[in-house]
Structure 1
Amino acid sequence: MAATSAMEGVPAAALRSVLHRVGQAAERSGRSSDQVKVVAVSKTKPVSVLREVYDAGHRCFGENYVQEIIDKAPQLPEDIEWHFIGNLQSNKVKVLLNGVPNLYMVESVDDQKIANHLDRAVGNLGRKPLKVLVQVNTSGETSKFGVEPSECVDLAKHVCQNCPNLEFCGLMTIGMLDYTSTPENFKTLANCRSEACRTLGLKEEQCELSMGMSSDFELAMHQGWCNQASKSAQMSAAATLEKENNAWETTRSKLSSSSFLSQWSFTSRFAARDLVSRLSLNEKAEQLVNSARGIPRLGVPAYEWWSEALHGVSNTGPGVRFNGTIPGATSFPAVILSAASFNASLWYKMGQVVSTEARAMYNAGLAGLTYWSPNVNVYRDPRWGRGQETPGEDPLVVSKYAVNYVRGLQEVDISGNRNMLKVSSCCKHYTAYDLDNWKGVDRFHFDAKVSKQDLEDTYQPPFKSCVEKGRVSSVMCSYNRVNGIPTCADPNLLKGIVREQWNLNGYVVTDCDSIQVFYESINYTASPEDAVALALKAGVNMNCGDFLRKYTVRTVNERKVEESVVDQALIYNYIVLMRLGFFDGDPRKHPFGKLRPSDVCTKDHKKLALDAAKQGIVLLENKGSTLPLSSKYVRKLAVIGPNANATKTMLSNYAGVPCKYTSPLQGFQKYVKRVYYKSGCQDVKCQDKSSIKAAAKVAAAADVVVLVVGLDQSVEAEGLDRVNLTLPGYQKSLVEKVTNAAKGKVILVIMSAGPIDVSFAIKLKKIRAILWVGYPGQEGGEAIAQVVFGYHNPSGRTPVTWYRKEYVDLIPMTNMNMRKDRSRRLPGRTYRFFTGKTVYEFGHGLSYTTFIKFLIHAPSKITIKRSFEQNFNNTSNQTLFLPTDKQADDKMIIDVSEVNCKKLDYAVAIGVKNEGKMDGGHVVLVFWKPPVWSEFKGAPNIQLVGFERVEVKAGKTELAVVKVNVCEAFSLVNEQGDRKLVTGRHELVIGSPSEKWLSHKFTLRADETIKDHQI
């Protein structure tokens, strides 16, 4: 009776389901299910769950973590066969063996060191020989443990011949998470067994294979048996439950215990697939939109997918709300200012803080877990209203920001489960989206005509990095068309590139109402059903809006799309929710469940917001070392300008409710007793000059004047692009009249995202210093004051080019070409292609101290070989020599696909000495100048290939190391969109326009195995 009762419980039902699948798979292969050993891996699930499975008759259990197994084993019967399947460190061997007397097998021996430690420990304890499996990394993933397939036989031989206290029983592997490559992974393991058996003189039935998880063990069983000559061979742990994900997932605490989801014991992928199979077509349509309704009969709760976290948890979307429990969240600077810090570790920490506060709000019932941030579009044109949301104009900076902020948000590794998400992040807006509303051309109707060359080397790299390196769990397609096709209806962009080439492990969501837009606004399809079919077939998984809810059922019924396509779309959505632990019961029992309202707006979080603002502020001008000011000698300070007392303006767009505000005026009042304030304009548009006279009068009575001018959301915003690069309205007049009236020094502070032509201000003699402060967030006023009075040494660099105002007359915003085109009189865009005169160049930024740089280490020669024999010799100066005496100036173009890029990493080491009297941060920028070839059209003039920020105390020297990959850094994109390496003389340029450059030349060569390629 006890066993029968237990079988009716949730874990027992899950086990029964798995055993049934094992039986079916064995029958299909003409084998017996007795030849398969199911290892039930519980991971973090409680002992009570394991007890239910034990009572149901199961005796074979596994664990990934030493602490978990030594905690659970003593609480359970001794007749259990425990398998340890996780990575085992040598210092944990004795702990494991002493804590689990009934340890049956260790499946993860992956080197001789761990084998030797196990052998000695087993011998010292006087135990009978311990069964072990050699773990093989069959997928080649760096995140996976295991010996290389080519080395597994040697390790197996070592165990058999040199470890008398270990019993070699076979091989184990963990396949790739996306399961697209699992057949090859399993086949590789089976081949390894055959070779090991031949070498060791074993029969194949004596060598077990442990492979497969809950979603793919049938495939593992089939592959393992297909490679066996004997029908008695054993498949050990071939149906291991949850090696990569939490097992026995339970539903949220508010659901009934009889709900469907409480029966899960499968991987996220299989669970999602099985859940979707139980939905009706109407229910599926309800789940394809951001406001997904609940499914009570299955215990699926309603969920709002749309939340924003661009630079802090925001209530812009419907998924977040603030109340008396949590009235606000930390508001960091606008992304454009944070990017000016060129500090990748800062971007990661910001992501961590934002996701911590998001989880705390989720636990309090005030927020969701899916955040449609960051914006990783390249800031192509200085007029773009949403440039403030982006990390700037350089593809590398945008890419690195995307990777680090996303990693900080998602913190995939922090729980010890590489698949679990802290929150889900989304990189948007894919792709070539950087026009909102310019002179009547809006984003809903705009068709971005983009060359293959520009798409590959400018618009796509941030998204590629976000998916491949950041491992983002969502990508948002944009409103615009690219070369005639709406991005949300383009199967090449979505399925072909994002899903298949970059391997997105997550969902694709439309920008809000994008499907409706391409149907209604541009009449791209004849009917709403055609629009739905087009989007789903292209690879859209979710619609922000109601369009898919309204028309999906009819689309399927009219046979314009198969229901299986709808199913696949939903599966990706549910996988993300499962990785977030959304169905894991009470959120307080989640790994992040201890986060509380007290974890929002903490002292450390507010300090990081202040640090981010200070690190980003750029000192544009400092005539005669006017700054920093001394508060001791400033008796009367005039603070003037439309942004001088700004609060909400400092937050930029997509902002929530901040923890607090510190306006510039409040910041200065902390350091100077007598501060006088006049706005000089009614608002930023400054269309009335009647207040300028009063402001000039205040300036005339002050020792020092700080003018805070610039822009706000009434001038640059989502849905609003600029038409010029000048200060709005009468702000220029305000600056001139106040400066002329001032009796002392004038400090000009520019609060904006987009660059402004302030050439007139530079010429005014009384303006002694100019600062750009972006939109500095909740701590902006304090940050500005600390920089002005020398409590912080500025180190920010401009992340965009500051063009002269005439630039807007040279090229329409609708022209997407990056490259200069003399025939069409196009000047080129960004520092990479524009060679005209500027106000400030990309990377400009001054300091209160003096830094000098010197080159310590860089390559002088690099040889490129074919991918199958690339061997990057790690010599002291990273120099490689050709086997033959080819000339350095040989001209060859090599396709990157033929090169083993992973073995072409190197480092540039730069010494940074602070020769001044003030501690400070310094950003080291490393640019590349490609060889000039008339045969290769469209190469950039110069391109950033790396950067590093270092803190250097006065009189001290620090080392900055910039890591560079040859294929990524030194490749050019041809007109067909293909990446090529060009041999010849190359040059590294270290520094920025505002400092002395360092130049280093090196040679890129090809050896004889590379054949000449034509452009």
Structure 2
Amino acid sequence: MKFKLKISLCLFLALPLSVIAQNKYPFQNTKLDFKKRVDDLVSRMTLEEKVGQMLNAAPAIPRLGIPAYDWWNEVLHGVARTPFKVTVYPQAIGMAATFDKQSLFKMADYSASEGRAINNKAIEMGRSGDRYVGLTYWTPNINIFRDPRWGRGQETYGEDPYLTSVMGASFVKGLQGDDPKYLKAAACAKHYAVHSGPEPDRHVFNAEVSKYDLWDTYLPAFRKLVVESKVEGVMCAYNAFQTQPCCGSDLLMVDILRKQWNFTGYVTSDCWGIDDFFKNHKTHKDAASASADAVLHGTDVECGTDAYKSLVKAVKEGKLLESQIDVSVKRLFMTRFKLGMFDPKEMVKYAQTSSSVLESDEHKAHSLKMARQSIVMLKNKNNTLPLSKSVKKIVVLGPNADNPIAILGNYNGTPSVLKTVLQGIKEKLPNANVVYEKAINFTNDTLLAYRNYSNQCSFDGKQGFKAEYFANNELKGNPVSRQEQSLEHAWQEGQQVGEGIVARNFSARYTTNYLSDADGPVTFEIEGDDGYRFKVDGKEVINAWTRNRWGAQQYKLLAQKGKSYQIVLEYWQGDGKANIKLSAGNYQKTNFIALVERIKDADAIVYVGGISPQLEGEEMKVNFPGFSGGDRTSIMLPKVQTDLMKALHGTGKPVVFVMMTGSAIAIPWEAENIPAIVNCWYGGQSAGTAVADVLFGDYNPAGRLPVTFYASDSDLPNFSDYSMTGRTYRYFSGKPLYGFGYGLSYSSFKYEQLIMPAQIKGGARLNLSVAITNTSNITGEEVVQLYISNPNSKVKSPIKTLKGFERIVLKPGERKVLKFSLSPRELSFIKEDGVAQVIKGKLVISAGGSQPDEMNPTSGNLLKKTITIL
């Protein structure tokens, strides 16, 4: 009977609304405008139904023909976490490094198309209420990457408010589409507003900043997306601001967002953020008071928990009126109507998107293009790069050389095919001897030498594991069972695990008997996300049952030859990706001297290191040296990596350091001694191909740093201090290792003829132009950057600040003239009281391939002129 009921519900969700309710209500009349339809719909709902729609997992209302809908979806660099295969682009920080707003626009447009295809497919399958198949994406992350230690900085467009604003606006425009009536998808600006770590403190932290820093640094990108780009959604942050939780902030939510900026879209809490009101910030006594206050401040959706269910009680207790609930519910349905969810498919062109767009050739080609564009060449002494394709032997080393996790970043989808750097080099050099060794881990030189132990594992006389899967995360009930040869699984949320079981809130038990083939220790290593337990002969030897995202633990078994040991691994997953892997082997310390001896006859050495999303990210349980809770405690490259590169440098062979990272890394020794350094971020599914193209000269790099690469930890203020004093290129008075906007090319360029008026009236636009010539014999791309600085020390202002950029392609000898037009707002500075004002007097305008006073050797000269504003 339950099975039949489930089928009936699926059929109901898949039916067009016109069939379900037969157009008997005005809200189903497509000739009426959205406002009238929304008003009519909400007027027909009970209080309980309205409150249900304010949860991210909004239930169906069958009597009105309203299908279930989950607001929670992500599209940071391609559609994320979906069970379908999708195109994965470089991580957001890498896309920022392209300094190409058109490329980002196209990426967002393509991703929205894939999202539409997924949504259409989910509706056809009767799964429209599933998480990660909806059209409301909680992206982009436009927080300012003020401190390189923040693990989630990789999700942002860097440290500069102008770059973040422009790239964020391009993303919103691409994602939301250009239809005059319907949204292609709904973007959401997050995390509003003063939010950038530390991760372990984000649920309790209270941010205090001056009005100057608030309006000069933290708010410009949000203002741009809300006021000019008309972003559909905003997500308020976990932390408190001036003692009020951000989702209940008088200043941020009411005065600025709704009143000053006239934002009419929806606001969602960050997930589990409403619970923080009464559990962590302690500003409210219970769920009802917290929920009521959040709604009164304009937070329309609660994500993650169900504190908002208490809104029914809050209304009955007089904490807020039902009419105030109506305001939020109407905003939510207005977004859904604008997405075409209540109109016939033939009326909404986006609803007709075919699944053929998923991983289309055009999308995959653009992923490769952006991966290439994102690569920043930091050093190329004596033209070490490009390497010759005629090399006979090349050695590829390092923890990221063949690491698929690193290239995918976080908040990612899963592609059908991905290319690591090792794979990219092998494909580039089919006739060469490409030698690979991992050599070291990120933070130590003792590796687990894995062995194939599958032929030593059996259950009930069959090789492998008995696998039992449960449709809950507590190992309860009747499982789906099968025999599996090995234990290495990775599922996207919602993907099929077993019959009737999907990868969300499920658990598993794996049982086998391990027959030892030798006397001595064997180390079992478990990697799991979210939690696991490991038992040997009935004894629990590892308990990581509490949330253990990206955690890996080991157990050393002192085995006896011929003895059998029962092994049980229990695992659970909540939301997000599901990963469980059991490996076995013995630890071995890498002998650098022996390694160097093995590779000394190589023509070149490529070391692929840096860090990875296994170390930095959102609220992680990571405790390696230099890392804590997803953040970094030091920006220095882990010492073991520098030690290895010193040994490699001693061979006298050309050494290329390919660095993967989502944040700035201090590499003072490498910058001084390694001849070639290339930063490729987390480059997406085609990262390896893109790196190989750059290393061997098939692509001329032109990426630029969207963050400052400092020389050491001593350059950084206290992580928890949100004052911008001494932070980012705009306020850092020291000498960086590599500055914001820096990046080399195989070409060279010359700037000339910076043409602009000597003076303009206050409130007028400044129009100017500059000419750029490719002075080399190779076609190259250049990122032209425009900065202003205020020489009047009596007026508080940044040392220098970006106000324009353009990425262009120039053939050998080709000359182009670029025109820029700066608005009065772009010529303004923020006063101490937070008000923007055009500064009267002199301003210095500079144009070139880098910041003022930080010369880029391949970009040639830098031009400066002074203008007087009357």
TM-score (norm 2): 0.77
Q: For CA contacts below 8 A with separation 6 or more, give which structure has more relative contact order.
A: 2
Give 1 or 2 for the bigger CA radius of gyration.
1
Question: 1:168-202 CA deviation, whole Å, 9 max, x = no partner?
Answer: xxxxxxxxxxxxxxxxxxxxxxxxxxxxxxxxxxx
What residue number does 2:755 align with?
A: 857
> Separation in 2 of the partners of 1:987 and 1:851?
22
What residue number does 1:721 align with?
A: 631
Which amino acid in structure 2 is aligned with residue 321 of structure 1? P
Change (3 A) 1:985 1:423: same
What residue number does 2:219 align with?
A: 460
What residue number does 1:926 align with?
A: 786
The 5-angstrom pairing of residues 348-497 of structure 1 reads 348-365=105-122, 367-411=133-177, 413=178, 415=179, 418-437=180-199, 441-497=200-256
Question: 1:228-275 CA deviation, whole Å, 9 max, x = no partner?
Answer: xxxxxxxxxxxxxxxxxxxxxx96466342564434542112211221
What residue number does 1:653 align with?
A: 410
Question: 1:791-828 CA deviation, whole Å, 9 max, x = no partner?
Answer: 110101111001122336x5210001112xxxxxxxx1
> Separation in 2 of the partners of 1:772 and 1:638?
19
How many pairs does the alignment contain?
A: 686
> Separation in 1 of the partners of 2:228 and 2:16?
31
> Separation in 1 of the partners of 2:38 and 2:676?
59
Residues 972 and 981, structure 1, Cα contact 8 Å, conserved in 2: yes
Which amino acid in structure 1 is aligned with residue 746 of structure 2? Y
1:345 aligns with 2:102: yes
Q: Secondary structure at the match of 1:370?
A: coil
Tell me the CA shift for residue 856 of structure 1: 4.5
Which amino acid in structure 2 is aligned with residue 909 of structure 1? S
Tell me the CA shift for residue 699 of structure 1: 3.2
Tell me the CA shift for residue 331 of structure 1: 0.2
1:550 aligns with 2:309: yes
> Separation in 1 of the partners of 2:302 and 2:772?
50
What residue number does 1:704 align with?
A: 604
> Separation in 2 of the partners of 1:687 and 1:570?
56
Residues 118 and 355, structure 2, Cα contact 8 Å, conserved in 1: yes
1:814 aligns with 2:712: no
Question: 1:851-873 CA deviation, whole Å, 9 max, x = no partner?
Answer: 01113532321112xxxxxxxxx
Change (3 A) 1:699 1:269: farther
Change (3 A) 1:559 1:933: same
> Separation in 1 of the partners of 2:444 and 2:34?
52
> Separation in 1 of the partners of 2:364 and 2:443?
27
1:974 to 825, 831, 834: 831
What residue number does 2:385 align with?
A: 627
What residue number does 1:165 align with?
A: none
1:915 to 764, 775, 780: 775
> Separation in 2 of the partners of 1:653 and 1:857?
44
1:770 to 669, 673, 677: 677
> Separation in 2 of the partners of 1:724 and 1:683?
14
TM-score (norm 1): 0.66
> Separation in 2 of the partners of 1:513 and 1:264?
36
Point out where structure 2 has 5 or more consecutive residues left out of the alignment. Answer: 1-14, 128-132, 448-587, 620-629
Runs of 4+, deviation exceeding 6 Å:
none
> Separation in 1 of the partners of 2:166 and 2:262?
19
> Separation in 2 of the partners of 1:371 and 1:333?
18
Residues 825 and 838, structure 2, Cα contact 8 Å, conserved in 1: no
> Separation in 1 of the partners of 2:340 and 2:118?
15
2:665 to 756, 760, 772: 756
1:314 aligns with 2:80: yes
Point out where structure 1 has 5 or more consecutive residues left out of the alignment. Answer: 1-249, 323-327, 820-827, 865-898, 1007-1015
Change (3 A) 1:357 1:692: farther
> Separation in 1 of the partners of 2:818 and 2:402?
38
> Separation in 2 of the partners of 1:525 and 1:294?
31
Instruction: Give 1 or 2: higher strand fraction.
Output: 2
Q: Secondary structure at the match of 2:350?
A: coil
> Separation in 1 of the partners of 2:707 and 2:419?
26
Which amino acid in structure 1 is aligned with residue 738 of structure 2? Y
Tell me the CA shift for residue 1000 of structure 1: 3.4
Which amino acid in structure 1 is aligned with residue 188 of structure 2? C
Change (3 A) 1:252 1:957: farther
Which amino acid in structure 1 is aligned with residue 20 of structure 2? L
Residues 685 and 715, structure 1, Cα contact 8 Å, conserved in 2: no
What residue number does 2:566 align with?
A: none
Q: Secondary structure at the match of 2:365?
A: helix
The 5-angstrom pairing of residues 500-579 of structure 1 reads 500-579=259-338
Which amino acid in structure 2 is aligned with residue 914 of structure 1? N
Residues 259 and 297, structure 1, Cα contact 8 Å, conserved in 2: no
> Separation in 1 of the partners of 2:598 and 2:820?
49
Tell me the CA shift for residue 997 of structure 1: 4.6
Q: Secondary structure at the match of 2:702?
A: coil
1:257 aligns with 2:22: yes
What residue number does 2:812 align with?
A: 954
What residue number does 1:963 align with?
A: 821
Change (3 A) 1:253 1:264: closer
What residue number does 1:999 align with?
A: 863
Question: 1:570-611 CA deviation, whole Å, 9 max, x = no partner?
Answer: 1111001000000113x4652123321211101111110011
Residues 30 and 343, structure 2, Cα contact 8 Å, conserved in 1: no
> Separation in 1 of the partners of 2:59 and 2:639?
48
Residues 709 and 751, structure 1, Cα contact 8 Å, conserved in 2: yes
> Separation in 2 of the partners of 1:686 and 1:503?
56
Residues 183 and 339, structure 2, Cα contact 8 Å, conserved in 1: yes
Residues 833 and 940, structure 1, Cα contact 8 Å, conserved in 2: yes
> Separation in 2 of the partners of 1:1004 and 1:692?
64
1:590 to 329, 335, 348: 348
Tell me the CA shift for residue 685 of structure 1: 6.0
Which amino acid in structure 2 is aligned with residue 817 of structure 1? S
Tell me the CA shift for residue 645 of structure 1: 0.8
Change (3 A) 1:500 1:854: same
Question: 1:655-676 CA deviation, whole Å, 9 max, x = no partner?
Answer: 0112311110010011222100
> Separation in 2 of the partners of 1:692 and 1:953?
48
> Separation in 2 of the partners of 1:678 and 1:973?
53
> Separation in 2 of the partners of 1:290 and 1:913?
53
1:942 aligns with 2:800: yes
Question: 1:420-466 CA deviation, whole Å, 9 max, x = no partner?
Answer: 100111010001100043xxx51001111111000001000011111
The 5-angstrom pairing of residues 77-226 of structure 1 reads none
What residue number does 1:987 align with?
A: 844
> Separation in 2 of the partners of 1:653 and 1:376?
16
What residue number does 1:149 align with?
A: none
Residues 371 and 424, structure 1, Cα contact 8 Å, conserved in 2: yes
Question: 1:877-906 CA deviation, whole Å, 9 max, x = no partner?
Answer: xxxxxxxxxxxxxxxxxxxxxx5xxxx334
Q: Secondary structure at the match of 2:778?
A: coil
> Separation in 1 of the partners of 2:304 and 2:95?
31
What residue number does 1:193 align with?
A: none
Question: 1:716-756 CA deviation, whole Å, 9 max, x = no partner?
Answer: 1112110001123522222222222x342011111001111
